[in-house]
Amino acid sequence: MKQILQDLAKGETLLKGAPAPFVTRDALVISSTVTLVSAGTERMLVDFGRASYLEKARQQPEKVKMVLEKIQTDGLLTTVDAVQSKLSQPLPLGYCNVGVVAEVGKGAEGFKPGDRVVSNGAHADVVRVPKNLCAKVPASVADEEAAFVVVASIGLQGIRLAEPTLGEAFVVTGVGLIGLLTVQLLRAQGCRVLAIDFDESKLELARQFGAQTCNPGKGEDPVAAGMAFSRGHGVDGVIITASTKASDPVIQAARMSRKRGRIVLVGVTGLELNRADFYEKELTFQVSCSYGPGRYDPVYEQQGHDYPYGFVRWTEQRNFEAVLDMMASGSLDVKPLITHCFAFEDAVNAYDMLTTDKSALGILLKYSSEASTRYQRTVPLTAGGTFAPERPVTGFIGAGNYASRVLIPAFKAAGAQFHTIATSGGINGVIHGEKAGFAHATTDTQGMLENPEVNTVVIVTQHNTHARFVQAALAAGKHVFVEKPLAITPEELASVESAYAVAQSSGKPARLMVGFNRRFAPQVQKMKALLATVKEPKTFMMTMNAGAIPADHWTQDNQVGGGRIIGEACHYIDLMRFLAGSEIVSVQCRRMGDHPGVSITEDKAAITLGFADGSFGTIHYLANGAASFPKERVEVFAAGRVLQLDNFRKLKAFGWPGFKRMNLWRQDKGQQECCKRFLQSIQSGGDNPIPVEEIFEVARVSIEVADLLRSQKD
């Protein structure tokens, strides 16, 4: 398959080849026929990508603030690496797709192969889209028309929020693609419409659709035009579909509205509002969210759970269907909006035109390649492919943010031979696989596991898949490195232990490693060496200023992410186990009690561990601290001496003869050393870098802590 990407660092628009996506539960795999370029949104993204770093910073002041805070806590070099890594990840373009269903995932009832559908899929000849973001196209609606459904739904959602009634006077400010569709939808609702824009050619289309017009570029006053249009009463509602940094559209909307008028912002404008304009008229102002209820709700979009029809009449999927019905009946005419057509293979020229011709409206990309050529599951990335089998030959499963930004570079620096990178979507594997030097990218994970050339597998996927992939890799005779956690339930952990035991009893036992990198950090290694001279129990205090994550984030979902204790605090359980050098024999914990108005999850908790040698320690895992405070602090009290480590940059010693401090220019949490030790152990046949017994022990304790916190009663 091929897909269009925007390189945010270099400003290039790219057409990249990739493996076809793997069908997943509650989703469809679709073979594209036509996609629509959203002129406003995609022009903005392309222009942003082509802007200088300084201009990018000016456009995103809130991101600049986050960068400055990260410099304070993590240091300049670490922050620069993170920013460059973020910008180096190309962004998929497009969200208006029409195609034919090729595969149907489990749970995607109501669809079958061969159905013609619209979706919010990207510009790619094959897309995978959740079922609730798809709708069947009526036979009377052409693909070229159906390509406008998603952008029309954006305007429709704004109209639903404004609640127009027959005969009301409405203004549409900004008649680009969404604005012109909104004009037609309001006219179909029985409203009188005034269209405001600076582009006379767009206003001419608005007049064709039955609207009156106002062109401020010709000196016409929008407020006066609105008052005249409303026969002096003030308009009933204003829908703003313009994109501008100025606040003028909102100010003008308030001044032309009647008492208790409604203003809905669909586009993007400045929001410097005059309270008096809104107060005196008791105006309603609302921002519309994309194509309707369900947008950005992972339960609706990703898990496929629909809202009850009787309580949420118009979801984003039902808005798609409503627009299609209007097209089928002839109430919505999009043919005049089609200004350009390009072959998909010529997409780069289409985007060049988009940035130079501001009058462009409906730009269609048409897909004509044979379906059989789109469905390769494995594609070559480099011309190489010769591997030394006596050394680790590595396959990666997963190419998300942590894999691409941290683990893949760490394994590369450690000398890994990169064979295949496997992802379910395909494109991420290509992006990061090419950059790192993988020989292949695939969406056939099982095929990669069965490949005899691959002897080592790294698993960096969502937490609820770790145990399953570990078992499959061990069964295939591979050495396994899995990013934490190893498992999220006792049953998963028992299955992994059993699979490992079977692998060890084979003629060629495999290694198992979990990415507990902090124990390999240079300052932690120094602490371990110092503590080795202490022959009495130690006391540990560890603080992880984790930062808030929404309660509905996947990491907080016990069934998917396992919660933040299992998913992240396990790092500190392992770190304390390592520094203590003794078995964990007791566990106590307490989370924040329930409180009105506070999101109560397990990520505000204290964990106290007792060790067989008499040592003990407390882990404070807190999501309610300030971002400017160090994210991680480790303190050890032993034999009248103290060690204090801040954010894996500054280590201070109090009372230690001959040692006072160990500071680093760049934060080092031990990821590279962790990967290096794992690869070396495979090649040399030496001991596992982390004893497997400790890996299983930490996994058991992490699950026990999470269970105790969840069962806490106030």
Q: Is 567 among the domain residues? A: yes
DSSP alpha helices (H): ranges in 330-381? 347-356
pLDDT on residue 313: 95
User: Is 45's pLDDT higher than 80?
Assistant: no
pLDDT digits (tens, 9 = 90+) for 115-160: 999 999 999 999 999 999 999 999 999 999 999 999 999 999 999 9
Domain with 240 in it:
151-287
Both 598 and 643 in one domain: the answer is yes
| Cβ within 8 Å of residue 211, ≥6 positions away | 172, 183, 187, 193, 194, 195
Rounded to two decimals, what is the model's pTM? Answer: 0.86
Residues 360 and 492 in one domain: no
3-state SS class at 412: helix
Q: DSSP character for 569?
A: I
Over 80: is that where the pLDDT of 47 sits?
A: no
N-terminal to C-terminal alpha carbon distance within the chain: 54
Of 562, 331, 575, the C-alpha closest to 465 is: 562
Report the domain count for the chain: 4
Q: What stretch of H or E contains 644?
A: strand 641-646
Helix (H) or strand (E) holding 587: strand 584-591
The answer on 87 and 64 residing in a single domain is yes
Q: How confident is the model at residue 359 (pLDDT cuts 50, 70, 90)?
A: confident
100: in domain: yes
Helix axes 39-50, 347-356, angle to 10 degrees: 90
Domain assignment present for residue 225? The answer is yes
Q: Which of 515, 549, 568 is the last residue of a domain?
A: 515
Query: For residue 551, how many other CB atoms are within 10 A of its CB?
Result: 11
Which parts of 95-209 are beta strand (E)? 97-104, 116-119, 126-130, 134-136, 169-173, 192-196
Please determine, for residue 178, whether its predicted confidence score (pLDDT) is greater than 80: yes
Answer with the residue of higher pLDDT: 591 or 53.
591
Q: Do 235 and 86 fall within a single domain?
A: no
71-92: pLDDT as tens digits:
666 666 566 566 556 555 678 8
Give how far Cα 430 sits from Cα of 16, 20, 90, 400, Å: 8, 11, 11, 12
One domain, residues 238 and 273? yes
Q: Decide if pLDDT at 60 tops 70.
A: no
Q: 388 with 362, same domain?
A: no
Does residue 292 sit within a domain?
no
User: How many other β-carbons are positioned within 10 Å of the β-carbon of residue 450?
Assistant: 13
- 241 and 255 assigned to the same domain: yes
Task: Answer whether residue 372 is part of any domain.
Answer: no
Helix 692-710 × helix 570-580 angle, to 10°:
130
Q: Are residues 262 and 305 in the same domain?
A: no
Token representation of residue 446: 């099982």
| Range from 8-17, 106-115, 523-532, 540-549 carrying the lowest mean pLDDT | 8-17
Phi, psi of 399 (to 5 degrees): -145, 40
Question: Exposed (0-12), middle (13-18) or buried (19+): which is 597, by Cβ within 10 Å?
Answer: exposed
Q: Give the whole-angstrom CA distance, residue 371 versus residue 31.
A: 7
- In this structure, are 161 and 124 located in the same domain? no
Structural contact between residues 317 and 9, judged by C-beta atoms closer than 8 angstroms: no
- Residue 540: partners with Cβ closer than 8 Å, 6 or more residues away: 576, 579, 580, 615, 616, 617, 618, 634, 635, 636, 637
Tracing tokens 């570990």 back to the chain, one arrives at 470
Predicted pLDDT of residue 565? 95
The CATH number of the domain holding residue 31 is 3.90.180.10
Boundary (domain end) residue, out of 481, 515, 549: 515
**The last residue of a domain, from among 483, 515, 547:** 515
β partners of residue 663: 650
Considering the domain architecture, whether residues 361 and 384 belong to the same structural domain is answered as: no
Q: Are residues 555 and 699 in the same domain?
A: yes
Which helix (H) or strand (E) segment is 473 a member of?
Answer: helix 466-475
**Token pair for residue 106?**
């489990």
Per the model's pLDDT, the better-predicted residue between 466 and 629 turns out to be 466
Is the pLDDT assigned to residue 386 strictly greater than 90?
no
Which residue spans within 85-183 are E strands per DSSP?
91-92, 97-104, 116-119, 126-130, 134-136, 169-173
Question: What pLDDT, on a 0 to 100 scale, did the predictor assign at position 372?
Answer: 75
In a domain, 245, yes or no: yes
CA atoms within 13 A on the CB side of 114: 0
117's tokens:
């559908």
Surface-to-core class of residue 12, CB atoms within 10 Å of its CB (0-12 exposed, 13-18 middle, 19+ buried): middle
Q: Is residue 266 part of a domain?
A: yes
Is-contact 565 709, C-beta < 8 A? Answer: yes
For residue 588, is pLDDT > 90? yes
- Are 276 and 387 within one domain? no
pLDDT at 571: 96
DSSP string of 208-260, one letter each residue: HTT-EEE-GGGT--HHHHHHHHTTTS-EEEEEE--B-SSSHHHHHHHHHEEEE
| Arithmetic mean of pLDDT over the chain | 91
Q: What are phi and psi of 285, to 5 degrees?
A: -125, 130
Q: Under a CB-based contact definition with an 8 Å cutoff, are residues 171 and 191 in contact?
A: no
Higher-pLDDT residue of 42, 236? 236
In the structure, what pLDDT confidence band is assigned to residue 6 with cuts at 50, 70 and 90?
Answer: confident
Residue 322 makes CB contacts below 8 A (sequence gap 6+) with: 153, 156, 314
Percent of the chain with pLDDT over 90: 75
Helix ranges (DSSP H) in 565-639 = 570-580
User: Does some domain include residue 373?
Assistant: no
Domain of residue 180, CATH code: 3.40.50.720
Q: Quote the CA–CA distance of 479 and 489 in Å, as a whole number.
A: 23
User: Average pLDDT in the 179-206 region?
Assistant: 97
Helix ranges (H only) for 257-334 are 275-281, 298-301, 316-329
Range in 44-48, 224-228, 276-280 with the lowest mean pLDDT:
44-48
